[in-house]
Amino acid sequence: MIAGIVRRALEEDIGTGDVTTFACVSEAQQASGRFLAREELVVAGLQVLRPIYDERGGVDELTLLKRDGDRCVEGETIATVRGRARTLLECERVALNFLQRLSGVATTARQYSEAVAGTGCRVLDTRKTTPGLRLLEKMAARAGGATNHRMGLFDAVLIKNNHIAAAGGVAQAIVRARGTGLPIEIEVRTREELREALENGAGHLLLDNLTPEEAAAWVREIAGRAKVELSGGITLENVRAYAETGADFVSSGAITHSARAVDISFRLELA
């Protein structure tokens, strides 16, 4: 799957050929390059480098000096590559796009996970990912310390308000979902829905758009009868307050949809 993502990215950028590189650089020219952290970051996405260079060919050596999840300081070398100069140049932007984006996700995930340290609450990612890049972005979130939630609509049941309405109620939705044999989580918005969900054996509850004070009251009422996830409006500034409510999980789409691409550069030297 990663190879396919990489192939599409290279085709999008290179198209029929890198006309600038072909015009300026001879086919025989060899070079080396370094990926450098230009700021403090948590690196992720290193697994895309080998498929990128394998797709284009002509690279003799790729050395990863860091692993996904490692913290880098400004000026540190993340990876080195050696081979045909044309390949290094035509792959430069695609490689950086992946590393900058995915390291941004990992860096944001690390900030969230560190913010809740010591509370016993885990940070979950969401499905609010870049279309086509979910696998890589969830790998980056995990490298940063977040826990992956479901990968898609196919691997776990998450019953939300519209599902409840369409099924005819909380009990009906839970009963029907049990037939899938998959893990079930259900969103509850009122005390009546909460009571009904617990009476029907719900083991994982989603509480959305509550204040930390409201969430703490709901968690006390649940009293360990089900796992609790909090979501909605959770930011770096307030995530610890939510984690301290006693919830088992907090989820934030910002880890993927609002992560800033970090500053990584590529330095080329002729061999």
* Active centre residues (catalytic): 93, 128, 160, 187, 208
**Eight-state DSSP code of residue 16:** T
Beta-bridge partner residues of 204: 227
- Report the alpha-carbon distance of residue 238 to residue 215 in Å, rounded: 13
Work out whether the CA dihedral 159, 160, 164, 167 comes out positive or negative: negative
Helix (H) or strand (E) holding 261: none
- Report the alpha-carbon distance of residue 124 to residue 147 in Å, rounded: 5
CB 41 within 8 A of CB 69: no
CB 58 within 8 A of CB 86: yes
Structure tokens at 224: 């360990």
- Report the alpha-carbon distance of residue 220 to residue 131 in Å, rounded: 38
What does 79-93 look like in DSSP terms, one character per residue?
A: EEEEEEHHHHHHHHH
